[in-house]
Chains A and B, each alone.
Chain A
């Protein structure tokens, strides 16, 4: 759901997923199995990061190098994905997604985005 929204709301991000096949419409993206699989992979690594909130830079060091040296992803996209995650959480949890919870999650996604950008050169 998360990756789908990133690719629909910010369509330029599709350029990183050319091997994923049909991304030609919102419905195509919604049904694309590679999008779902990769979305899960990304969120799993996010969950791992949540277990190491006191050392996000360490937790994401290898992924940071990968995204810089091999994948050539502009770090601004990490912030976009983080914002999409916050919107998805808001949608899923409705009124439970209090301003306090939003502030905490915003801090986490910003921390993860910065950690992923940390090894860029």
Chain B
């Protein structure tokens, strides 16, 4: 089980309080689809993903990005039991969506980059370390029920 220190908990929560979930979520998913274009294969039903501007403006990408980041918000409330929190989503991503777990790590890295662009001054090395630990732990939790 991953253990987060008090400082890490405080750091993550303090930045999370300022995050616009719709903007950061949508941009994180969009960047994943642009920078790692093979991930587009999971979103065939999303319509136009033919260019960077199409992806950035795609309403389905924004909605789904917000949904994904909301689940991160849930993670932050349950940092002492991420595996339990993500058990159902883990089974879904394995059994129904067939997503390679490496993509969870890639999306986690995209979230870090978007946070860095939005929160320049506050995104100190310590803040980055806390969020990196969280995104890694969420990726592991999402992989936990894979078989």
Name which residue of chain B comes closest to A5, CB basis: B125
Using a CB–CB cutoff of 8 Å, the interface residues on chain A facing chain B are: 4-5, 8-9, 26, 29-30, 83, 86-88, 90-95, 97-100, 102-103, 106
Whether B35 pairs with A102 at a CB distance below 8 angstroms is: yes
Whether B34 pairs with A90 at a CB distance below 8 angstroms is: no
Max chain B C-beta neighbours (<10 A), residue from A30, A91, A92, A93: A91
Whether B125 pairs with A8 at a CB distance below 8 angstroms is: yes
Q: Which chain B residues border A102 with CB–CB below 8 Å?
A: 31, 34-35, 113
Whether B117 pairs with A30 at a CB distance below 8 angstroms is: no
> CA A29 – CA B128 in complex, angstroms?
15
Question: Closest CB-CB distance, B3 to chain A, in whole Å?
Answer: 15
What are 22 A-B residue pairs whose CB atoms fall within 8 Å in the complex?
A8-B125, A9-B128, A26-B124, A26-B125, A26-B129, A87-B112, A87-B113, A87-B116, A87-B128, A90-B114, A91-B123, A92-B120, A94-B117, A94-B118, A94-B120, A95-B117, A99-B31, A99-B34, A99-B35, A102-B31, A103-B34, A103-B35
Residue B30 interfacial (CB < 8 Å): yes
> CA A120 – CA B137 in complex, angstroms?
31
> CA A86 – CA B123 in complex, angstroms?
13
Residue B109 interfacial (CB < 8 Å): yes
Name which residue of chain B comes closest to A99, CB basis: B34
Whether A9 pairs with B52 at a CB distance below 8 angstroms is: no
Whether A86 pairs with B34 at a CB distance below 8 angstroms is: no
Question: Closest CB-CB distance, A20 to chain B, in whole Å?
Answer: 16
With contacts A83-B109, A86-B113, A93-B117 known, what are 9 further pairs, Cβ within 8 A?
Answer: A4-B125, A26-B126, A30-B125, A91-B117, A91-B120, A92-B120, A94-B120, A99-B31, A103-B35
User: Which 8 residue pairs across A and B have the least CB separation, nearest first?
Assistant: A90-B116, A8-B125, A99-B34, A91-B116, A9-B129, A103-B35, A90-B113, A90-B117
> CA A8 – CA B129 in complex, angstroms?
7
Name which residue of chain A comes closest to B32, CB basis: A99
- With contacts A26-B125, A90-B116 known, is A100 near B52, CB below 8 A? yes
Q: Which chain A residues border B128 with CB–CB below 8 Å?
A: 5, 8-9, 87
Question: Closest CB-CB distance, A92 to chain B, in whole Å?
Answer: 7
Name which residue of chain A comes closest to B33, CB basis: A99
Q: Which chain A residues border B30 with CB–CB below 8 Å?
A: 99
Whether B34 pairs with A8 at a CB distance below 8 angstroms is: no
